[in-house]
Amino acid sequence: MRSTLALDNCPAARALDVVGERWALLVVREALAGARRFDEFRDRLRMSENTLARRLTELTASGVLRRTQYSLKPARFEYLLTEQGCALVPVLAALAAWGNEWTDPDPDLPKPPARPSWLDENTAGVAERRA
């Protein structure tokens, strides 16, 4: 079911219908940084398993990620970025730049780099993360 956000046919609203849920872009960020398996996403993001499972299902259904089985018993899957998912690199880069400019980082945590390492590592080789 599509959200009411996408009903006005605005491209930004349609995009937010796909990646606007809490954690969605952070899952994409971690996929860009090399996470592929459920436990990798969970450990890196420190999010609940139920929420992560929902986000992975939604991102897969939307075409941002592709789920591939790597083990039969027990059934285990990895999640790879599709071309559509890789196209979110500039969106994440813009959000990171905006966050560096307009938000105050937690003073108790290390200062984040001006340009995230996942961006540098993946802008040239982002096709390697594609499904």
- Per-residue pLDDT 10s for the chain (131 aa) are 455 655 678 898 889 999 999 999 999 999 999 999 999 999 999 999 999 999 999 999 999 999 999 999 999 999 999 999 999 999 999 998 888 888 887 878 777 666 666 666 555 445 444 54
Q: Are 24 and 55 in contact (CB under 8 A)?
A: yes
For the chain, the helix, strand and coil percentages under 3-state DSSP, each to the nearest 5: 55, 10, 35
Per DSSP bridges, beta strands 76-81 and 65-71 are antiparallel
Q: Can you give the pLDDT at residue 131?
A: 47
pTM of this structure: 0.81
Q: How far apart are CA 93 and CA 98, in angstroms?
A: 9
3-state secondary structure of 67: strand
Question: What architecture is domain 4-129?
Answer: Orthogonal Bundle (1.10)
